[in-house]
């Protein structure tokens, strides 16, 4: 195991501070007042904001496989128009802990498809991968009634690949969604989060704020009943109908180099309700890690424990915290849709 001495080196703490300052600046940029006289919007994706000409674009089409699945089940009377069937689980599962827990679905590179709208890094062998696998085998999360848990293993985000992201989402909310939202792109949900954060916004202002013509995205979002127009402005529809996620818990696993893990866990707070580092028992003897974690609002979860060694500070804001929250919201729902399609194809044979 790597020497613990570098953990006490001041350079690591300074690196974490710089990381936090960059993310704090990003948060402030995103908090654009809707009454601001400036038409220049924050671009957290590192791109320029160019004005694009207006085009009249048609609405989205559903993928043929989705339409076939939907039409067959609607014809049988098993579901009402524009709602989705829900199976029990998708992919690998983690056993439930008790009566207040639910089986968790695990999504990773091996089961991912383009339909999910999220890429995953291929699993790499090594001690950290073994640590994550052992943790998953004993994962116990208590969730509210009617909620499900989906765990994403190393999903691709702008900030990197968090080792684990546990998404707690409300199934009855997702049951009512239209199938048209299954083809929304990353750009679409970025625009949606912009409307959630800033409130009603004119199309002209959106043109200045985005690096692409927003019309096509807006039409796709409207076809999915995610946005609407009121008094010449576009606004997001009520979140209690369009957003099913209740909590997002991120984990960064490390067997050594825990200060680096703290920096990564701190970075994950741009989308996570709670962020933890996952480490072996030896970390309990390192006081510097606990102290620094408390300063950053990051929790510490030690292998073999059913509860956190140090509980993370929960985000003050409710979800969605960023467009990544929407990516997870759509991904867990699409995974369920895909499982339904696979089951339907199996019955057809």
Residue ranges of domains in the chain: 64-177+243-342
What is d(CA 247, CA 98) in angstroms, rounded to the nearest whole number? Answer: 19
Ordered per-residue pLDDT tens for the chain, 349 residues: 333 332 223 334 444 344 445 444 443 443 333 333 333 333 333 332 332 222 222 233 333 333 333 333 333 333 333 333 333 333 444 444 343 555 688 999 888 777 778 899 998 888 899 999 999 988 878 888 899 999 999 999 988 999 999 999 999 999 999 999 999 999 999 999 999 999 999 999 999 888 778 999 999 999 999 999 999 999 999 999 999 999 999 999 998 888 899 999 999 999 999 999 999 888 777 778 888 999 999 999 998 888 898 999 998 888 999 999 999 999 999 998 877 666 656 555 5
- pTM exceeding the 0.95 threshold for the entire prediction: no
186-198 and 215-223 are packed helices; what angle lies between their axes, rounded to 10 degrees? 80
Name the strand (E) or helix (H) holding 66: helix 64-76
pLDDT at 34: 32
Q: Is the torsion defined by CA of 150, 156, 296, 6 positive or negative?
A: positive
pLDDT at 340: 64
What is d(CA 229, CA 162) in angstroms, rounded to the nearest whole number? Answer: 36
DSSP type of residue 231: T
Q: Are 138 and 264 spatial neighbours (Cβ–Cβ below 8 Å)? A: no
pLDDT at 50: 30
Nearest alpha carbon to residue 314 among 297, 337, 331, 292: 297
Buried b (16+ CB within 10 A) or exposed e, 61-73: ebeeebeebbeeb
pLDDT at 171: 93
| pLDDT tens digits, one per residue of 177-186 | 999 999 999 9
Q: Please name the residues in contact with 69: beta carbons below 8 A apart, sequence gap of 6 or more.
A: 85, 337, 340, 341, 344
């Amino acid at each position: 195991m790597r020497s613990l001495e570098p953990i006490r080196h001041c350079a690591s703490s300074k690196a974490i501070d710089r990381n936090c300052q960059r993310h704090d600046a990003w948060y402030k940029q995103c908090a654009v007042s809707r009454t601001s006289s400036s038409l220049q919007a924050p671009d957290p994706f590192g791109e320029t904001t160019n004005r694009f000409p207006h085009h009249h674009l048609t609405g989205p089409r559903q993928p043929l496989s989705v339409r076939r699945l939907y039409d067959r089940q609607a014809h049988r009377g098993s579901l009402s128009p524009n709602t989705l069937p829900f199976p029990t689980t998708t992919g690998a599962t983690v056993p439930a802990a008790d009566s207040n827990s639910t089986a968790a679905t695990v999504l990773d590179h091996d089961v991912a498809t383009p339909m999910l709208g999220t890429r995953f890094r291929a699993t790499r062998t090594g001690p950290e991968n073994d640590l994550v696998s052992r943790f998953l085998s004993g994962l116990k999360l208590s969730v509210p009634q009617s909620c499900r848990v989906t765990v994403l293993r190393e999903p691709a985000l702008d900030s990197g690949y968090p080792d684990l992201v546990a998404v707690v989402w409300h199934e009855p909310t997702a049951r009512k969604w239209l199938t048209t939202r299954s083809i929304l792109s990353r750009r679409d949900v970025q625009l949606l989060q912009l409307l959630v954060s800033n409130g009603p916004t004119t199309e002209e202002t959106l043109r200045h704020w985005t690096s692409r013509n927003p019309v096509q995205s807006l039409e796709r979002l409207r076809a999915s009943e995610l946005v609407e127009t009121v008094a010449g402005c576009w606004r997001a529809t009520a979140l209690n109908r369009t957003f099913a996620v209740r909590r997002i818990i991120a984990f960064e696993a490390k067997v050594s180099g825990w200060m680096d893990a703290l920096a990564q866990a701190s970075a994950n707070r741009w989308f996570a309700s709670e962020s933890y580092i996952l480490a072996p028992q030896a970390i309990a003897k390192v006081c510097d890690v606990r102290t620094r974690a408390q300063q950053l609002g990051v929790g510490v979860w030690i292998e073999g424990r059913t509860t956190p060694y140090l509980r993370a500070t929960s985000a003050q804001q409710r979800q969605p915290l960023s467009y990544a929250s929407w990516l997870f919201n759509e991904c867990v729902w699409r995974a369920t849709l895909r499982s339904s399609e696979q089951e339907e194809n199996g019955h057809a044979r």
